[in-house]
Structure 1
Amino acid sequence: MTHYEQQYLDLLRDVWTRGDERRDRTGVGTRSLFGPTLRFDLSDDRIPLLTTKRVAWKTAAREMLWFLTGDTNIRELVRQKVHIWTDWPLDRFRRETGETIDRDAFEARVLADDEFAARWGDLGPVYGKQWVAWDTYEPVGDGLYWRGTPVNQIAELVQAIRTNPTSRRLLFTGWNVAELGGMALPPCHMTYQYHVAGGRLSGMLWQRSCDLGLGFAFNAFSAAMLLRMLALQCDLEPGELVWSAGDAHVYLNHAHLVEATLTREPRSDPRLRIKRRPASIFDYAIEDFEVEGYDPHPHIAAPVAV
């Protein structure tokens, strides 16, 4: 039986060998293919966790739980020793102040100084803000508007799955056109849609952009984790995760990562255990999740393009 990870390895090879080479926003350059789709079976607690390199799955899980709080400041992530969002505000701080400061010193100031954290740790209205507090506006006359009640897309999704499981509107998105300019990074994993059949919940994640070398491992795990949480909250079994991307790319400075990855054989068949069902999808904690049977190859370090 083919290992679930083989389809990812095939895509990585295809992008690296056949992808269109182009300059990109970061200046690093990529090789890119358009429109790939992968499918992962999530039954029996299966999880699409890459084994050809060690993935820090708890970091991905903490990020997903942070999204669900609606927080958009890196401070809470830094408190949990999660550094994956620090590069963007750090880059802005360096550009706007001219101050040379390393990541550790910047994060220490974010933790120690409330005013500094509020000004420099904020990412703008990124994922969590759109997921659980999408702004609405109501007219008050003479072309004026006041801010109405924010929309909690996640809460509405849970209710819709429970009460109208055959709906074709079981989805949420982070692509708020009016607020893209204020985001440190516009959403890459931007739209999630769900489908109920035979007592099983399946989901599709559509990414406008996917860094296959670094981002995919987190994106696939997080999407599967969220699907599992939704299924548990809605008394359904997990079905399938369908992952699809617009621009699937590999950065040119990740050649060593690609070459090392493609020499490795997938191994182990990990399971994601969820230890309890809390009162709502917003009440999970990192201690509620455990990965069993994970035996990956060693981590492969590679730079993040900001």
Structure 2
Amino acid sequence: MTRRHPEQQYLDLLSQVLERGDERLDRTGVGTRSIFGAMVRFDLSEGSAPILTTKRVYWKTAVKEMLWFLTGGTNIQPLLRENVRIWSDWPLDRYRRETGEAITQEDFEQRIVADDAFAARWGELGPVYGKQWRRWLGADGREHDQIATLIDTLRTNPASRRMLFHGWNVPELGAMALPPCHMVYQYHVTSDGRLNCLLFQRSVDLLLGAPFNFVGATALQLMLAQQADLRPGELIWVGGDIHLYRNHLEQAHEQLRREPRPFPTMRLVRRAASIDDYRIADFEVEGYSPQAAIKAEVAV
């Protein structure tokens, strides 16, 4: 019996959204075709990484974003200095609306990189992912580092059913450029030392977002496993509102016409001293032979 390629789970989701998705107007005004509720599972135990092959996924960008989240940062300047531009749309949109200046994205990003004062004023995203993961502010004024607590529990009480972190901090949602989409990460350790992750994503741009989320979650799972002397196990991704934007439908059809190739492997080339010590150079991906990139616009 031929083993089904794990990427087929993602392609099946594309097909489901195209074939039976509910047509809806959405926050961006672009419109979506959407289904509600699905699960995909990827086995990381043999080193395989769910970096899609039916189009090129810029996996280093996704890993750099995850490393930025782990710093607790909320300003796009460090991202742009790493040539990661995936968060520029929201502050750029705010800048154009509030100033009336028809600045190009490239010029805006260059000003963010070059001018610290400008970056402090216009590059800030509000209390997004990293702030909640590393510096959740309690009602008593104390900050809570959810990642540090998770790693400590993985090391000292791996049978716990309370090993999770999340970003849906209700009082701070209104101050965020974008409320968290991948919002809850829960972990589970098997009796033979494998670390599993279940990621719940309330809302997912299936064409552009999900491929990055699979990579980011994989990179994080590898780091957490190493820090807790565990082995990577399974990554389980659960989506809530799973949608294609109306200007992404042809791109989805194009991707469905392609056959998956073998997944690459991802590994850490050194043991970092702590979760805060990882760099992009620590990640090695081998055997990645994707098909051509598929271009699509981000809906803001």
TM-score range, shorter chain: over 0.9
CA contact (8 A) 2:92 2:108 kept: yes
For 1:45, what is the secondary structure of its paired residue?
Answer: coil
Paired amino acid for 2:188: H
CA contact (8 A) 1:268 1:296 kept: no
Match status 1:216 vs 2:210 = yes
Paired amino acid for 2:186: Q
What is residue 15 of structure 1 aligned with on the other side? Answer: 17
Q: 1:13: how far off?
A: 0.4
Q: 1:87: how far off?
A: 0.4
Match status 1:237 vs 2:231 = yes
What is residue 274 of structure 2 aligned with on the other side? Answer: 280
Match status 1:109 vs 2:111 = yes
Q: 1:194: how far off?
A: 0.4
What is residue 26 of structure 1 aligned with on the other side? Answer: 28
Cα distance in 1 for partners of 2:38, 2:199 equals 12
What is residue 161 of structure 1 aligned with on the other side? Answer: 154
CA contact (8 A) 1:124 1:182 kept: yes
Could you tell me which of 91, 94, 109 is aligned with 1:92? 94
Cα distance in 2 for partners of 1:239, 1:59 equals 23
Q: 1:225: how far off?
A: 1.1
Cα deviations across residues 119-145 of structure 1 (Å, max 9, x unaligned)?
10000000000000111243xxxxxxx
Paired amino acid for 1:51: T
Cα distance in 1 for partners of 2:112, 2:50 equals 34
For 1:63, what is the secondary structure of its paired residue?
Answer: helix
> What is the RMSD computed on CA atoms of the aligned residues?
0.7
Q: 1:112: how far off?
A: 1.7
Paired amino acid for 1:110: I
For 1:208, what is the secondary structure of its paired residue?
Answer: strand
Could you tell me which of 176, 187, 192 is aligned with 1:183? 176
Structure 1 gap ranges (5+):
139-146
Cα distance in 1 for partners of 2:28, 2:263 equals 35
Match status 1:304 vs 2:264 = no
For 2:144, what is the secondary structure of its paired residue?
Answer: coil
Runs of 4+ in 1 over 4 A off after TM superposition: none
Cα distance in 1 for partners of 2:139, 2:164 equals 22
Aligned residues: 297
Q: 1:180: how far off?
A: 0.3
Paired amino acid for 2:82: Q
Paired amino acid for 1:155: A
Q: 1:9: how far off?
A: 0.2
Q: Percent identity?
A: 63
